Structure 1
Amino acid sequence: MSANKIKLSVLDQSPIRKGATAAQAIQETVQLAKLTDTLGYTRFWVSEHHNMGIIAGSTPEVLLAHLAGETKNMRMGSGGIMMPNHSTLKVAENFRMLEALFPGRIDLGMGRAPGTDRITAAALNPSNQFSEQDFVEQLADLQSYFHDTYEPGTIQARIRAIPQVKTVPDMWLLSSSGQSGLFAAHFGMGFSFAHFINPNGGPENVKMYRDRFQPSDDLAEAKANVAIFVFCSEDPEKVRRHIAVMNHRFLQFEKGGPIVPLSYDDVKDVEYTPAEQERLRANNYRVIAGSPTELKLKLTWLANDYGVDEIMVVTITEDFEDRLESYRLLAQQFELV
């Protein structure tokens, strides 16, 4: 895969920078969507997380309605809707409404994880059993709601997802393991591998998805992409500082303690144990950071390794202007416009 054939897209979590507010984080997501829409990015996905002090994105179905109205070119979607938190019918109605408002531009990316801790997940959906079978049934029900294909005479056939519209959002399953890839293959959906969560086994899981893909009414051929943390800068010092902050943030998550916004000054003097240093080395594969020319080579290699033509870029920075500039530099390197 040559660099000029690689499509770039955005996965944004509305990260809350140190000293900023959640409201500011949401407005920064809006600004980023407007910018990347003009730069030639393919799609813009927003995430669903709950009860996390560093992420403001909790309701992608709400945020998407605003973002799609503020943009013109990109596909807009969820990355993703965490299905166990929701009624399948309500998800179908939310995304049929989005399709009615923005036909042909909506992606429904879905995940099996709750996007939060178990206690919060139970509060979101007290009947959540974290069952694989429940998830599979949700996917089947969702396709039936979108296509009005419940078997006549059944109770389900008496229920319609409103509004009734002719178009259907593109459906994707998001995962950091191969299991959802198998589900995506079975149901004929797109598959997005979260390399930024798990840097191991991704190419093999994407290949397994392609090998087992069964065409659906919505997708005739397998379609996959890969999502990874990225930071692009012409300043080597900014790159070094970015990696230091990301490394510490990864350890925060792994230890399960309080997750708070970080600055480089918070982490610059931290000394890590040998065990922590081993985790830092492993987590380095979740991030690609460097100069524009370095990023072009590394991201092209990543796309070739996965056998995909699209990379979902996740960028979190201390300074919002650095986040915008990173996306600008990538667009120039990959000649998106």
Structure 2
Amino acid sequence: MSTKNIRLSVLDQSPVRKGATAVQAVNETIRLAKLTEQLGYHRYWVAEHHNTGILAGSAPEVLLAHLAAHTKTMRIGSGGIMLPNHSALKVAENFRMLEALAPGRIDLGMGRAPGTDRITASMLNPGNQFREQDFIEQLMDLQHYLHDTADPGTIQQKIRAIPQVDTVPAQWLLSSSGQSGLFAAHFGMGFSYAHFINPVGGPQAVKIYRERFQPSQDLAQPEVNMAIFVFCSEDPEKVAQHKAVMDARFLQFEKGVITPLSYADVKDAVYTDAEQDRLRYNRQRVVAGNPEMVKTRLSQLAESYDTDEIMAVTICEDFNDRLKSYELLAGLFGLEPRL
């Protein structure tokens, strides 16, 4: 697969850097969206997380409304809406409103995880039982609301998702396992694999999704992308420091401790044998290096996933390094700038 044929996209969790504020993080999301649109990135997704001080993106539907007003052609969407936290009707209304604001540019990416701990999830939706069947029923209801196709005699037939618009957002299921890929295949939705969460089994999940895909009125052919942590720099010291911070961040998260980190916090860290094993596993979730190395590795991953779209997730101690990483990526893969 030629690098010229690979589309680059952004998944942004609105990270709060150490010493920065959530307001700064949201403003950085806006700046990054504007830049990556100019650079020629294909789509820009924002995430949903709750009860964590290191990620400011708790309400992607609100943030997307603002991004719609500050971008012109790039697709924008959720990566994702954590569907069990919401009613299907409200999700349909939110994204119909977004379609009214930016017709034909909206992606509704959905996940099954709560994007938080179980206690917080129960506060977001006290009726959430975390059952697979509930998620499937939500997906079915969502289709009815977005297409006005509820079965006669059902409660859903009496309800319309407002506003009534002519376009339907592109629908994607997000997953770090194969299960949601099966749902995406059944409902005829796009499938986004979160390699940055689980680096094992992604290509196999995508293969099964393609094999079992059933065309829908919204999507005639299977559509796939994969998301991975990426950092590209021409400065080897910055790359080494980034890797050290990511190592510590992963271990911290696994221990349930979530605080912003800087290189100064981790530069003298010493890890146990068990932690070293986890580091080796977690490093598969990240591509970090000089431009040549990053280009080679991302091209290999695109080939293994049989996809022409990579979503880059980049979290940096320095926001300028984050911007520069996306600039370098755009050049590596020959993106055509938007004037």
User: TM-score band, normalised by the shorter chain?
Assistant: over 0.9
Match of 1:50 in 2: 50
Match of 1:219 in 2: 219
What SS does structure 1 have at the residue aligned with 2:174?
strand
Match of 1:130 in 2: 130
Code of the residue aligned with 1:68 in structure 2: it is: A
State the Cα distance separating 1:271 from its structure 2 match.
0.6
2-side partners of 1:72 and 1:166: how far apart?
19
State the Cα distance separating 1:153 from its structure 2 match.
2.5
2-side partners of 1:139 and 1:104: how far apart?
21
Match of 1:100 in 2: 100
Q: How does 1:255-334 map to 2 (within 5 A)?
A: 255-257=255-257, 259-334=258-333
Greater shift in the superposed pair: 183-192 or 152-161: 152-161
Match of 1:71 in 2: 71
Deviations 1:201-228 (A, max 9, x none): 0000000000000000000000000000
Matched, 1:238 2:238: yes
State the Cα distance separating 1:256 from its structure 2 match.
1.3
Code of the residue aligned with 2:154 in structure 1: it is: T
What SS does structure 2 have at the residue aligned with 1:197?
coil
- Structure 2, gaps ≥5 residues long: none
What SS does structure 1 have at the residue aligned with 2:217?
coil
Match of 1:86 in 2: 86
State the Cα distance separating 1:154 from its structure 2 match.
2.0
What SS does structure 2 have at the residue aligned with 1:8?
strand
Match of 2:39 in 1: 39
What SS does structure 2 have at the residue aligned with 1:312?
strand
Match of 2:204 in 1: 204
Greater shift in the superposed pair: 150-159 or 130-139: 150-159
Matched, 1:152 2:157: no
What SS does structure 1 have at the residue aligned with 2:107?
strand
2-side partners of 1:44 and 1:203: how far apart?
23
Greater shift in the superposed pair: 181-190 or 66-75: 66-75
Match of 2:9 in 1: 9
2-side partners of 1:68 and 1:236: how far apart?
36
Deviations 1:61-100 (A, max 9, x none): 0000001110112100000000000011000000000001
State the Cα distance separating 1:293 from its structure 2 match.
1.4
Deviations 1:212-245 (A, max 9, x none): 0000000000000000000000001100000000
TM-score by length of 1: 0.99
State the Cα distance separating 1:53 from its structure 2 match.
1.3
2-side partners of 1:254 and 1:147: how far apart?
41
2-side partners of 1:46 and 1:155: how far apart?
32
What SS does structure 2 have at the residue aligned with 1:150?
coil
Two-structure CA RMSD over aligned residues (Å): 0.5
Q: How many residues align?
A: 336
Match of 1:228 in 2: 228
- Structure 1, gaps ≥5 residues long: none
Code of the residue aligned with 1:276 in structure 2: it is: E
TM-score by length of 2: 0.99
